[in-house]
Structure 1
Amino acid sequence: MKPLFMHSTRFARYGAAAIALLAVALWQRSAHSDERAVSIPAPVQDEHPNGVHPETAVVAGGCFWGVQGVFEHVRGVTQVASGYTGGAADTAQYERVSDGDTGHAESVRITFDPTVISYGRILQVFFSVAHDPTELDYQGPDHGSQYRSAIFPTNPQQRNVAQAYIAQLQGAHVFSSPIVTRIETFKGFYTAEDYHQNFLALHPDYPYIAINDMPKVNALKNLFPTLYRTQPVLFQAAAHSPS
């Protein structure tokens, strides 16, 4: 079940008065976010830099607005795109993905410099502050398989690191409930519509963002001060092609 004004192409066409009414309704419905940041250990097993070539990580953790917004504030990240992963190219549009039957998850593609931040540290931020890995097929107010917690490794080394890290966190019992994050086969990433990109950075006071996602950015700053950067790196929209 989505908040009343959740990301629809219709959002871009609402007048200011309609948006205000919807914002008030949401605020009354959800006074705080149910997601909480958790301090967790760094991965014991991690990738090691191999040259200076950029690397990509693809993860899904609920509404892509917040996950993108968090990673845009992480040092070593050079670009973050919101998009869809897990389904076919012809269903990679917001209105279809919102039906929950396409196989897609709202996801983000994180491009990063592995000499500055490792894949394991990307996953540490993902599990710690970007989402709650114990929520099955939902995150906060957003329900459906398109909001699932998932990792889409782009190479065998990433898969090994992700599997080992989940086992490490489960064994350490750092969460009060079992981790439900799926490690899925990467079938391609499809960039979301332009109006979804950089949503947190562009609309930090938007009620859904203020309630659910700005606390995640603050948690990043508090829990990972050496990784946090004040100015986000913003995604520059390009052709919506798979990668």
Structure 2
Amino acid sequence: MSAVIPGTSLAIHPERFPDPVDDLPTDGTQKALLAGGCFWCVEAVYLNLDGVLAVTSGYAGGHAARANYEAVCTGTTGHAEVVEIEYDSQVISYGQLLKVLFSVAHDPTQKDRQGNDRGTQYRSAIFYQSPEEKAVAEAYIRQLDNAGAFTAPIVTTLEPLETFYRGEDYHQNFANHNPNQGYIVHVARPKVEKLIHAFPDLLKGDTQ
């Protein structure tokens, strides 16, 4: 079993996480929709991965009329804060994106929260776009459970993607535009540092 940080179920050694046994076939440029708490943090992690072409913060799981930051923050709209990841599947696979989600980007054992961020808008979720994506995600969650990767149950939901709503412009690439903002310093940056330490082979060449 992986060691965990006291008081949480986050793994200290994400590099020990298993690679997905099941994965999607290589098929050019694809998109993945993932939720793991505040989209600023999740976006900051994925922008550093080789093969990731673009990351867009936004909302999924609710309706268009209330797909805006003020409404979603109430936790009553059904939306989750998500990132849409456009990636080259010849460089990085869907399964590898999931591995980073579970091991670095967030704590999948916290229901409807990430740390002090509480509400269904911060839920751990994978918004699948095909039966094949759903099957890969289900298989990897079983794999992590069997490996004892966490000391608490994984609560990540698998939800069919209906529509992705792009977030407001000021949310895009937020960590890079606001490196000294308190949330970025204390929450996002440590996750990026954890990624750099755990998975140097997955990083873009210019990642420090």
Q: TM-score, normalised by structure 2?
A: 0.91
Match of residue 180, structure 1, among 146, 155, 159: 155
**1:155 has 2:130 as partner:** yes
Length, aligned pairs only:
198
* Runs of 4+ with >2 A deviation: 33-38, 229-232
The match for 1:87 among 53, 58, 62 is 62
Bigger drift between 201-210 and 89-98 goes to 201-210
Is 1:46 matched up with 2:23? Answer: yes
**Unpaired segments ≥5 residues, structure 2:** 1-6
Normalized per residue, the structure richer in strand is: 2
Q: How big is the shift at 1:230?
A: 5.8
Over the aligned positions, Cα root-mean-square deviation in angstroms equals 1.5
Taking the aligned partners of 1:215 and 1:99, their CA distance within structure 2 comes to 27
Equivalent pair of 1:86/1:103 in contact (CA under 8 Å)? yes
For the 8 Å contact 1:35–1:131, the answer to whether it is kept is no
Tell which structure's C-alpha radius of gyration is larger: 1
SS in 1 for 2:125: strand
Take 1:129 and 1:86, find their aligned partners in 2: how far apart are those partners? Answer: 23
CA shift in 2, pair 1:231/1:194, >3 Å: farther
The letter of the residue matching 1:48 is P
User: Aligned partners of 1:196 and 1:118: how far apart in 2?
Assistant: 26
Measured in 2, the distance between the counterparts of 1:211 and 1:35 equals: 18
Output the CA distance in 1 between the equivalents of 2:131 and 2:199: 27
Q: Which residue of 2 aligns with 1:22?
A: none
In 1, Cα distance between the equivalents of 2:110 and 2:151?
11
Pairing partner for 1:66 from 25, 41, 59: 41
> What percent of counterpart residues are identical?
49
- Find out whether 1:193 has 2:195 as its counterpart: no
Q: Is the 8 A contact 1:35 1:140 kept in 2?
A: no
- Give the alignment partner of residue 96 of structure 2, picking from 121, 127, 133: 121
